[in-house]
Amino acid sequence: PTAPDSPFPYTTRGLPHVSTVSQPPSAPAGPAGEFLHDFLLAAARHTPDAPAVIESDRPGATTVTSYAELAALVDAYAHGLGALGIETGARVVLESDTTARAVAALLACSRTGLTFVPVSPETPRRRLESILATARPALHLQAVDGTRTNLPPALGTARFGPDGLTVDRAPAPHRPRRRVPCVTDPAYIVFTSGTTGRPKGVVMSHRAVLAFYRGMLTHRIATPEDRIASTSPLQFDFSLLNIGLALGSGAAVVPVPPHLVRWPRHLLRVLRDTGATQVNGVPSIWRQSLRYEPERLAALDRLRSVLFCGEEFPLPELRRLQELLPTARIINCYGATESMACSFEDVPRPLPDDVERLSIGVAHPGAEMLLVDASGAVVDRPGVPGEIHLRSPALFSGYWDDPEATRAALVPDPLCPESGQAVLRTGDLAVRGEHGEHYFCGRTDSQVQINGNRVELAEVERKLTEFPGAAAATALALPLPGGGLELTAFVVPGAGRTPPDAGALREFCAEALPPYMVPQQIQLLDALPVTANGKVDRAALADAAARGA
Ligand code: ADP
């Protein structure tokens, strides 16, 4: 069938049409609407024929899964999971790209009281082993065409496909300890990048996720007509934000496979073929398109909004994106995995010439950002930096099996420690503006000491990108062989401009910054390396510099 509102050819999944969401016998009892699956499948009851997931992995092959079809898949997978007899609260590693079936699989985990641990198929074996050793899952679940092999013999293994689950190896029987799923139970565990030490498993309860989704939806970022392109891998909770935003709004999610996100022509082709109206991702997803495919990007006339999260958007690239998409709303979403995210702030259009940093606004309704100075006192005055502490119903429960790290991140409310309320110590620095809005100033751990002077690396990066011809920059304090640190910067030139010259860049910085903040070394790079989640890979840059690469 061809969708009536679209010029694109569609095929549907061909699943049995269901107009109501039936509950399998294993469905947990509980207050309706309070679990992840209830919340995200509400549209299946109201608009069963509306598109829930739109996929286009190849040119000319766009597949739509309606809400009814998604709900039928969830039913089928939940029956399969329920039949395995795994105890409530057990972990299921869900290794997949974001697809309609993967969305159904994670909702089926929620439906059967199991905690899913999203992992991307590209995850290196060593990292997967570390996640398996930490999370001790009962089951590994991948798509029928998933290629992961040689999983530990004690782990159950199954695959999800068009007709349900196939079990390759049944999970070991457990004596059930929990019988009644609670909304405080973990809905999922997302493992952080682990750039600083071993990966930490961020445990999010159903209650926290729904509190976040509800807070996010008050910002009216999406309508039921939207098609929201999600460019983050499933293991990055940004994808869960996108799924929640789309399904929670009765809109469609458009997962863009990671191998296509990296190639600007492929990315833009998917966005065009699926009629995406909103594109959500880290800033780096735009870098290559801005540089090599500006005309194709500007031709996306159905695109109404762009939401970015995860790191600062280099201002030269943001201005260019505004020029190419002159009517699109651009939203700066700030936050960490420990609360999924926290704030949503529109980028002003036009961006004033003298703007130095973007506002991250205020926390979503029902939550509050507090700024706390180095002495532990709450900062109230505008312009005074402090570390963001988040008071919110959407906070994570803790790091899986890591009480020490949990204690360091969930700390007593600095305004009322007596209450027993925990707040999230984010490790992010900000200042407050005149109207109560916040400006992100970098991470506490990106403040370094150069010759005894405190240097905020983000400030150096911002100055470098003000140089005409610089599109993006990263600054690092790298150890010198004889001891001490040296400020080194990596700069990406803008498209069609004369590449900046290192000497001129240094002079430009020296005009505005104290000498200890002027990078001693500046390297020009075609592109900044990125992590699996698409953020600038500072560790890779530091490694390359150490090797003299
Ligand atoms: P990881 O620690 O693996 O990068 P997170 O996604 O939890 O995973 O990272 C959260 C951090 O990313 C925040 O604490 C903040 O430092 C940074 N961040 C997130 N969103 C923004 C934003 N819009 N602007 C600037 N920094 C951001």
Torsion of CA 119, 122, 124, 128, to 10 degrees: 20
Among 146-160, 330-344, 517-531, the minimum mean pLDDT is found in 517-531
Closest-lying ligand 1 atom to the alpha carbon of residue 332: 23
- Using the mean position of ligand 1's atoms as its centre, give its distance from the Cα of residue 427 in Å: 10
Could you tell me which residue, 452 or 191, shows the higher pLDDT?
191
Flag whether the pTM goes above 0.80. Answer: yes
Burial environment of residue 141 by CB neighbours within 10 A (0 to 12, 13 to 18, 19 or more): buried
- pLDDT band for position 549 (cuts 50, 70, 90): low
Separation CA 433–CA 76 (nearest Å): 51
Is 531 near ligand 1, meaning CB less than 6 Å away? Answer: no
Tell whether the torsion through CA atoms of 265, 233, 103 and 345 is positive or negative.
negative
Q: What pLDDT is recorded for position 195?
A: 57
- For the stretch 284-304, pLDDT in tens is 999 999 999 999 999 999 999
Is 332 near ligand 1, meaning CB less than 6 Å away? Answer: yes
Q: Whose CA is nearest to atom 13 of ligand 1?
A: 336
Per-residue pLDDT at 29 exceeds 60:
no
Among 326-330, 339-343, 532-536, the minimum mean pLDDT is found in 532-536
Distance between first and last Cα of the chain: 54
Closest-lying ligand 1 atom to the alpha carbon of residue 313: 24
% of the chain surpassing 70 pLDDT = 93
Is 334 near ligand 1, meaning CB less than 6 Å away? Answer: yes
Which letter does DSSP use for residue 349 in this model? S
Per-residue pLDDT at 98 exceeds 70:
yes
Residues in the chain: 549
Q: Decide if 462 contacts 453 (C-beta within 8 A).
A: no
Most confident range, picked from 11-15, 33-37, 303-307? 303-307
Residue 139 phi, psi (nearest 5): -145, 145
- For the stretch 106-150, pLDDT in tens is 999 999 999 999 999 999 999 999 999 999 999 999 999 999 999
Q: What ipTM does this complex have?
A: 0.97
Look up residue 424 and give its two tokens. 């999230």
